[in-house]
Chain A
Amino acid sequence: MGLASCWRTSKQRLSLIGEICPHCGAKLFPPRDVCPQCAGLARTPFAFSGRGAVYSFSVMYAAPVGYEDYVPYVVALVKLDEGPLLTAQLTDVTLDEVHIGMQVEMVTRKIREEGEDGLILYNYKFRPVLQAVTA
């Protein structure tokens, strides 16, 4: 991801800002300007809570270039509480804990670095919802 693209997507990557369609109320992530449900213009920002559940997942053993240092890592389709699905890595979780339906919450994590002097790319990942333990 180049510097310009990184700058353009910062609200999505770091704050999960999507859109709400003012015509039909559909909540959209990522933002896309034309509502896929009703085809109306949809540019009203909407901040997602970051809460959701694992809809599907896969443990990756062979990574594309740039991600080799992190193998094995878990990628998932997460169904946000507000409705949309999105794609993200899961983090702070062991491979055998992951299951469809697991409750997760958004966190900001490093995805990778573009070489020693390049960008450090941050993005959303999802971890199991932390449960407070009362003694």
Chain B
Amino acid sequence: MRDVSIVGLGQIAVGEQWDKSLRVMGAEAVLASLRDAGLERPEALYVGNMLSGQVSRQENLGALIADHAGLRGIEAVKVEGACASGAAALRLAYIAVAGGVHDIVAACGVEKMTDALSEETTAALVSAADAIYEGEHGLSFVALNALLMRRYMHEYGYQRQDFAGFAINAHKNAVSNPYAMFRRVISAEAFARAKMIADPVSLLDSSAIADGAAAVVLAPTEYARAHGLKAVRVVGSAIATDAVALHDRNDLLFLQAAHLSAQRAYAQAGLGPQDVDFFELHDAFTIMSALSLEAAGFAERGQGVRLAMENEISLQGRIPICTMGGLKARGHPVGASGLYQVVEAAEQLRGEAGANQLQGCRVGMTQSIGGSGALVVTHLLERVNC
């Protein structure tokens, strides 16, 4: 097993990209990452995406994005893991390089969500859940998270407003991220007044529909050193799964797959939560932030919300999260988000995070969740001192 590093980063602004189609966005991110690495042609490209079939009537994205990026002929394939598709693409790219199959591999996440009406996109997102036993009953993805949030509030005695810190922190950090969708702060009052989508989940608890694309290039760390490339080491990489439907989980309020994938990544890296300097977690909904912090070992069961209430999640806090805006404010183009998290974590570790730079950070964790916790991808990244 070879040591692997990220040697190139690329991303486009998250938002309503009316001028750019799926293939244009994907190719743009891939080419930006290759340019950043100073490399021309990867041997393989893994394209993470969830909705291209349903929203754009387009599959075969491995071939499509490779060709559009001028890489016709390389190995390429679409990788799907619901909202964790981008991170899952990275996982496969990592395996290819670590396993010695390829030297230079690109992983990209791309999502076009705005080409359909929002109620159509909402319906498409339900394919991350159990289509027959959850989707058919008229649930939206928001509703699934609402069921979790209500039960969590009931069991641990929290109010809706206790979750405000997650949204406020994300928005605050996005102000300085030029690629973020929502670059304005929100107040506690705005959170309290926010419109209900599926109660208790409001507009400000939820990430929004958006388009985006992000990509990284991987190479063996030895190669990066030999060629003087900027490297961020991938020291932990793991995927774990759980029951797709919420009602089939063994323990509803514990993200078992997030816990397992974090444990596997920690074990591979020889690290624990105490070594992690910041956590790009999957804040698609405020309840997911709380549950992710608990599953990954940063808070006891039922205490994840306290980290937001006590502002320990800020850039100055004990465990900074969503340092560039997170899914909530940077945006959540679902299949791409997993790679935005990795690009942002790599920027932090390279010292390229601008106004949001965490001084002296050494280890960053990224975690992307597919569905309501069914497929979770965790990576641990480490700064390379050159």
Which A residues are closer than 8 A to B by beta carbons? Answer: 1, 5, 9, 30, 36, 55-68, 70, 73, 75-77, 84-89, 100, 111-112, 121, 123
Contacts and interface: CB of A to CB of B under 8 A. Distances in A.
6 contacts: A58-B150, A58-B200, A61-B198, A63-B138, A65-B117, A75-B137
A85 B248 CA distance: 7
Interface string B103-127: 0000000000000010110110010
Interface residues of B, number: 37
B189 interface: no
B358 interface: no
Given A1-B132, A65-B120, A84-B247, A89 B199 contact: no
B137 A123 contact: yes
Contacts of B138: 60, 63-64, 66-67, 70, 73, 75, 89, 111-112
B143 interface: yes
B137 A65 contact: no
Contact of B199 (A61, A77, A87, A88): A61
Interface of B: 117, 119-120, 122-123, 126, 130, 132-134, 136-140, 142-143, 146-148, 150-151, 154, 195-201, 243, 245-248, 250, 252
5 closest A-B pairs by CB: A58-B146, A64-B123, A85-B247, A56-B151, A67-B138
Given A73-B138, A123-B137, A61 B196 contact: yes
Contacts of A36: 243, 248, 250
B151 A58 contact: no
B345 to A, nearest CB: 32
Contacts of A85: 246-248, 252
A67 to B, nearest CB: 4
Contacts of A66: 123, 138
Contacts of B120: 65
Given A62-B197, A65-B122, A67-B138, A87 B245 contact: yes
Contacts of A55: 151, 252
A65 B139 contact: no
Q: Which residue of B138, B151, B199, B201 has the most chain A CB atoms within 10 A of its CB atom? A: B138
